[in-house]
A and B are shown apart, each in its own frame.
Chain A
Amino acid sequence: MQTKRIPFSSRWLPYALLAPQVIVTLIFFIWPASQALYQSFLRQDIFGLRTDFVWFDNFSRLFADQLYLNSLKVTLIFSVGTTFLSMSIALLFAVMVNRMIRSRDSYTTFLVWPYAVAPAIAGVLWWFIFNPSIGIMPYMLKGFGYDWNHRSSSTDAMILVIIAAAWKQISYNFLFFLAGLQSIPQSLIEAAAIDGASRFKRFWTIVFPLLSPITFFLMVVNIVYAMFDTFGVIHATTEGGPAQATNILVYKVYRDGFVNLNLGSSAAQSVILMGIVIVLTVIQFRYIERRVNY
């Protein structure tokens, strides 16, 4: 890793400059993370009187636990659904906006602001629209003969949280897709047009493949978002229900730790989540390296 050619010389100053960040990191990041690792090997009895060292027992219990396996499955459906929905809508918008010349900036302004809405608020907004007794959507769906109720139907609840989480993420994906589209050389598209490729064909054989690095990057970012930043969406609306149908991993860590007070299990879940984040971050960074190289 480089520095400047002739660095400043001081024996103590660099440490003093680094100190605030390193201290915060050690106290609030590294220490709790190692505590989680340590606690994941312990188990307390129900009265909190005795703590035993149980090796990997917490982990093996988790993977034998029907509720945890269910939560894994729910998280998978939720993150794939959110990622796919918000990325495909964002790509559609970006392609359309990219055709515009004069109105490009105004459309962008209109599409960009949901980024600022907190996940919890996004959840409450869609929860209100889909409210079974007064919401506008159930009323319209009833016209089509569908009886919407996210309080009793697991599918409905899942659709609700996916829509809320995806809605908020559209603006982010849109901005990156638009930037990607604008960096595609116009000459390639013109050449294909001269060869007689239709608009549709040009998109799927030229534009979309050239967007693939950005698509891949966004996929990772969206999965991270859906797995870790959507706590608010779940907590403010379905609270994991009905019948565990929307109990994603992050929400379960919180519930088991703070509501059910099962610290060993919660710590083990934290450790598994950290493993997932680390894998995703590494993938993301490998991608950046590749992009810098070509």
Chain B
Amino acid sequence: MVENNRWGNFFAHLVLILGVAIVIFPVYVAIIASTHPPGTFIRGVMPLLPGPNALENYKTVITDGRSRAGTPPIGGMLWNSFVMAMAITIGKLSISLLSAFAIVYFRFPFRIFFFWIIFLTLMLPVEVRIVPTFQVVADLGMLNSFAGLSIPLIASATATFLFRQFFMTVPEELMEAARVDGAGPMKFFKDILLPLSITNIASLFVIMFIYGWNQYLWPLLITTDPEYYTIVMGIQRMVTGGDSEPLWHLVMATVVLAALPPILVILFMQRLFVKGLTETEK
């Protein structure tokens, strides 16, 4: 710091504390709302201090859901979200590790062509080609299944690029040494390359888990069976499902439960998260 300005620092802290307060405010409100009995929301402005009904509300959403509006218990939806997020994450990581390995360590006809095919996926987000993708998945009979929820989302150009870049920096000598010792390509991949990439894998894991967990449009389209609802899309059903005002105390309890897992992932793995974020996007 060039000069030390006490008032400047005070002002900076003030701005930041206010900023943090504003950033946290929506979640604070949600947590507060989830602890109140239903009556509170009929009587006018929502409260800013916790109410007495926390345990009851959370128990209701986890075990019962809102059967009247056709939303299943949250417990099952949380599980579906977890399975989908894990399937997408692991799928993305494994297919991009393999294809990056092929592109960096082999020389074969049409290598550039395949590279471009993978690159194209970067330009075609699901939201953009939504109707035809839905038709393909429907034709393959993958509606209402975990395969349909995850497989169409696992192709990832960014992960392939990142691994490709990382593999390029791995010293050539390692590969030569492995070959002198008689290791084949797959043995080299498994015993040398994978252990070296472990930090990269972990930081991508954080990013992709959040990506998978937060999927919204895709599960909305291909699940009509409540058994496969994921929690993020389930909230929308709760908000618009009834004919009157939503049951805010239950909606907010669900919101808190839906937002918690990815937030915890970020908070506990902040360093990996920041690394993954700044590296995938460059």
Contacts and interface: CB of A to CB of B under 8 A. Distances in A.
**What class of interface size applies to chain B in its complex with A?**
35 or more
Contacts of A288: 282
A68 B72 CA distance: 37
B263 to A, nearest CB: 5
A293 interface: no
Given A33-B132, A135-B46, A254-B130, A107 B20 contact: yes
Interface residues of A, number: 102
A230 to B, nearest CB: 9
B152 interface: yes
A111 B29 contact: no
A100 B20 CA distance: 15
A274 B102 contact: no
Main SS of the interface on chain A? helix
B46 A3 contact: no
A72 interface: no
Contacts of A134: 41, 44-46, 248
A113 interface: yes
Nearest to A127: B239
Contact of A3 (B16, B104, B124): B104
A8 B130 contact: no
B19 interface: yes
B168 interface: yes
Interface string B27-58: 10110010000000100111010000000000
B281 A221 contact: yes
Contacts, number: 299
B255 interface: yes
Contacts of A92: 15, 19
A246 interface: no
A69 interface: no
A80 interface: no
A127 B33 CA distance: 13
B130 A253 contact: yes
B124 A33 contact: yes
B198 interface: no
Given A29-B155, A136-B45, A167-B26, A124 B235 contact: yes
Interface in A209-234: 221, 228-229, 231-232
Contacts of B16: 93, 96-97, 100, 107
Interface of B: 1-3, 5, 8-9, 12-13, 15-16, 19-20, 23-27, 29-30, 33, 41, 44-46, 48, 94-96, 98-99, 101-108, 111-112, 114-115, 117-118, 120-125, 127-137, 140, 151-152, 154-155, 160, 168, 172, 175-176, 184-186, 188, 210, 213-214, 216-217, 220-221, 232-233, 235-236, 239-240, 245, 248, 251-252, 255, 258-259, 262-263, 265-267, 270, 273-274, 277-278, 281-282
13 contacts: A4-B172, A21-B155, A21-B160, A29-B124, A92-B15, A118-B214, A118-B259, A121-B232, A128-B26, A167-B26, A236-B235, A257-B131, A277-B124
Given A107-B16, A107-B20, 17 more contacts: A4-B104, A8-B188, A13-B106, A22-B99, A22-B118, A39-B131, A99-B12, A100-B12, A110-B24, A119-B214, A125-B26, A139-B45, A193-B2, A228-B128, A236-B239, A253-B131, A270-B131
Interface of A: 1-11, 13-15, 17-18, 20-22, 24-33, 35-36, 39, 89, 92-93, 96-97, 99-101, 103, 107-122, 124-129, 131, 133-136, 139, 167, 170, 172, 175-176, 179, 189-190, 193, 199, 221, 228-229, 231-232, 235-236, 239, 250, 253-254, 257-258, 263, 266-267, 270, 273-274, 277-278, 281, 288
